[in-house]
Structure 1
Amino acid sequence: MAVFEIYSLPALYRYKSSVWSKASFYVLAVLVLTFIPPLLIAYRSQGFWITTNTYQEQPDVTYKKQLLIVAELANPGEYFAWSTYANFNNLLQGNLRVPQVSSFELDNNRDGLNDQLSLNISVPLTSSEQVVSVHLLVIFDYKLYRMSTFEMESMVYVSQSSALGGAGAKVTGDLGLYQRVPLYHRGTDIRFNTPIIDSTSTFASSYDLFTILKNYSQRNITTRLENSYSVWSPGRLPTEPFVLQLDVFYPTEVITYQPGFWELIKWGWVQYATILLLFLWVFKRINRTVFEGNVFNTVVQQPKVKIIKGL
């Protein structure tokens, strides 16, 4: 009857020695050289710990029905302005010009998140007035949920100008997230959920455009209009208003965040284990050569051979 090999096990040879022998010190040195250098190599290769990581998420953005508009006229020093803040409008006095404002947000893919804001501002003018520049601040509520629950009040700034008086301007772009620091990986983050414009203030300096933009730019996380395109329309008819059209899209963002402890460990272990496997393979070959060649005096315990009868 023919016999086939259906399973095999390696023979185990045991090499024994005293604690203070050369063989013991050799094994200790091999252990150190096997496990420590891979750790040093992984650490020095700029890839052991990850300080930041990224993920993609579409933000939950809502237009807060808050804005501030300032338009400069062709005559030097003349301007008009309006906002949704009563205290600012009171400060304007004769420079207040109330526009007609319409807005709507669209959820194009019906996922429960807004995808776009369309804003139309129509400002009445006299026949002799010519708008040469316009500045607009639009306020949003910006939220993220996938990692930490992040919420802030954000804005976009739109500025258009021309040497010639215009009938209006059309602007389109993406609401882009700008980060100087990573977000947290969990918890609630409301560090930047503070009013951009202090609507309770009765001082004109609180509504100065440069002051607002300067304070906003000092935040570590902001939004701004990116991938933007604009068209200035010249030649306004005397009876027509100045019309500013703004379309802002809310795209999916690449969010930078600070990894948690277990993510750090998982990433570090992958880097370490990859190099460790190579060292284990090399020193396994070296140890076999050393002990099978009797480089050190050791007691060899050979495996017992069992003979199974009946075949």
Structure 2
Amino acid sequence: GFWKKFSEYREQATVYYKQRFIILLKGKAPNDYYVWSSYPLLNHAEEIHIRIAVLEEYESDFNDDGKPDLIEINVTFPIEERDKIFGVFYMFLFDYQLDERSRFSMETAILDDLDHAAESSSVTVSGDLWLDQAAPLWSSGRDPDHGGALINESNLDLAQYNPTTILLRNSFRNFTTTLKRKSIAWMPKRADNNNFVLHLSLRIVEQQLLYRTGLLELLKWAWIQYFACFIIIHYFVNKLRQFLFENHLLSTIIVRPNHLNELQR
């Protein structure tokens, strides 16, 4: 119709790692797992399952525009020969910002729950960081925070750290981030390997974003469409009128000025 309520534009988000994470290595049995996180409450509660890991993070800005184009996170867990790793749950929190139209900022998570049939010594996950929208962005101004913090550190309820709870709570948000063109590669366990390594590689690319048009843009598009329709209709009406009169398809009465004066006397 005339009223274009939504439109699209392209922007690359500004994304930074917040140094907040939860990683759970899964063994064969339900109670056979190891945990390491940035949350002291969770680490204390899972003391017998804690396995302290080394986390390294790298950011790359290939075009020098001040925005990271690639974020890489490597997490190395020391494991023993008897440890058998068949899966991993991970959650990393990021600060996600857009500013080309509305000023949009939120805490977002990259998280997944992966399983593998064979024992593994590492898993590499890579993909394009992608904003998944259940609602349009604002056209301008400050877009309010959506969803707040995924983990409330002032809350002492341990249930919020449960992987199923985290996945469910994240799915209820209007704005989430996922990995597009995602690839997952597992490496089998070797006898001489005493580590399990999680590699995460995020490419931050420009993407198409949906937003709600503002009043001026709404009126502009309505006027453009109205004017275009008016020109087309006006052209065809003139052509039709010219055709009808030139081919004498309609009866016409020609009134000359002198004859009109005589009739008025």
Query: Is this a same-fold pair by TM over 0.5?
Result: yes
Q: Which amino acid aligns with 1:256?
A: L
Q: 1:108 aligns with which of 55, 62, 66?
A: 62
Q: Which moved more, 1:162-171 or 1:273-282?
A: 273-282
Offset of residue 299 of structure 1: 6.8
What is the aligned partner in structure 1 of residue 261 from structure 2?
Answer: none
Greater Cα shift, 53-62 or 201-210: 201-210
* Distance in structure 2 (CA, Å) of the matches to 1:113 and 1:247: 16
Read off the aligned partner of 2:79 and give its amino acid letter: L
TM-score by length of 1: 0.75
| Corresponding residue for residue 141 of structure 2 | 187
From the CA coordinates, give the structure whose radius of gyration is larger. Answer: 1
**What does residue 58 of structure 1 align with?**
12
- Asked if structure 2 preserves the Cα contact closer than 8 Å seen for 1:126 and 1:238, the reply is no
| SS at 2:194 equivalent | coil
What is the aligned-residue identity percentage? 29
Match of 1:135 in 2: 89
**CA shift in 2, pair 1:149/1:114, >3 Å:** same
Match in the other structure for 2:32: 78
| Contact map agreement 2:147 2:173 (CA 8 A) in 1 | no
Q: Distance in 1 between matches of 2:44 and 2:257?
A: 98
Gaps of 5+ in 2: 259-265
The 5-angstrom pairing of residues 125-204 of structure 1 reads 125-192=79-146, 194-204=148-158
1:93-137 Cα distance to aligned partner (Å, 9 max, x none): 201111011111111111110011111111111220111100111
Q: Kindly state the Cα deviation for residue 159 of structure 1 after the two structures are TM-superposed.
A: 3.1
CA shift for structure 1 position 281: 3.3
Counterparts of residues 1-311 of structure 1 (less than 5 Å): 47-192=1-146, 194-237=148-191, 240-284=194-238, 286=241, 295=253
Q: How many residues align?
A: 252
CA distance 1:199–1:236, shift in 2 (3 Å):
farther
> Amino acid of the residue matched to residue 98 of structure 2?
L
Q: Which amino acid in 2 is paired with 1:250?
A: I
Asked if structure 1 preserves the Cα contact closer than 8 Å seen for 2:28 and 2:85, the reply is yes
Distance 1:299 1:210 in 2: 91
The 1-side partners of 2:114 and 2:129 are apart by 17
Q: Deviations over 1:214-247 (max 9, x none)?
A: 1111111111122111111112335511111111
Q: CA deviation at 1:193?
A: 5.9
CA-CA distance at 1:295 after TM superposition: 4.2
Runs of at least 5 residues in structure 1 that lack an aligned partner in the other structure? 1-46, 301-311
Tell me if structure 2 keeps the 8 A contact 1:174–1:249: yes
Distance 1:109 1:56 in 2: 17
Q: CA RMSD in A?
A: 2.2
Secondary structure of the structure 2 residue equivalent to 1:277: helix
Instruction: State the TM-score, normalized to the length of structure 2.
Output: 0.88
